[in-house]
Amino acid sequence: MASKDLANYRKNYSKSSLDESHLKHSPFDLFNEWFEKADADPRIEEANAMSLSTAGKDMRPRTRVVLLKELNQKGFVFFTNYRSKKGLALVENPFACISFFWPSQERQVIIEGKVEKISEEDSDVYFNSRPLGSRLGAIASPQSQVISDRAFLERELHKIQEEFKTETPKRPGHWGGYILVPEYFEFWQGRENRLHDRIRYDFDNNSWSSVRLAP
């Protein structure tokens, strides 16, 4: 592979600022404000796309993009196969990090916390709300396992389609939701001369406090 020099890639950040006067008492409120602006920006196709980082007992971090499907007063909800690599890692180490990057807003949010499964009832509700193809795909795919080829997936999907021709598919027990309960937020706003604004929120003694970090 030929080397590629990226040293001269440059971007000036000057669209906004994050001053202490902009802060909310709760980081959830500030996140909601930023998310609504990102979601309304036509340049951002999926404002709810977030990077999820996990590390199992082997201590090797792994990051992938998943979709935020609910934000409530407790935390951030996403769905996956419990037998996937991330699902197995969360059994071994329930702490994770999620991050959102909205380039057109020149904003990033990093959130750390403990992850736990949501209730089976709530997982059922979400699963049943998905398009039929997505439900059948979740049943057909042995996520993260080695498979022979694409044709294997097509055969498995065909089997599932035949099986559920006359009945509604139910959520498989190995698929459902997780919620990340935040203990840490970091809000990053790009600024000129790389002197970016960084505000950290920490949860301690049942309350949130904020500090400014050097860029």
Residue type, 78: F
Are the C-beta atoms of 93 and 56 separated by less than 8 Å? yes
- What is the chain's length? 215
b/e sequence 14-32, b meaning 16+ C-beta within 10 Å: eeeebeeeebeeebbebbe
Reduced to 3 states, what is the DSSP secondary structure of residue 213? strand
* Catalytic residue (choose from 62, 135, 194, 200): 194
Does the annotation count 60 as an active-site position? no
Are the C-beta atoms of 106 and 87 separated by less than 8 Å? no
Closest CA to 137 of 151, 158, 118: 158
Concatenating the DSSP letter of every residue in 76-118 gives EEEEEETTSHHHHHHHH--EEEEEEEEGGGTEEEEEEEEEEE-
Residues marked as catalytic: 194
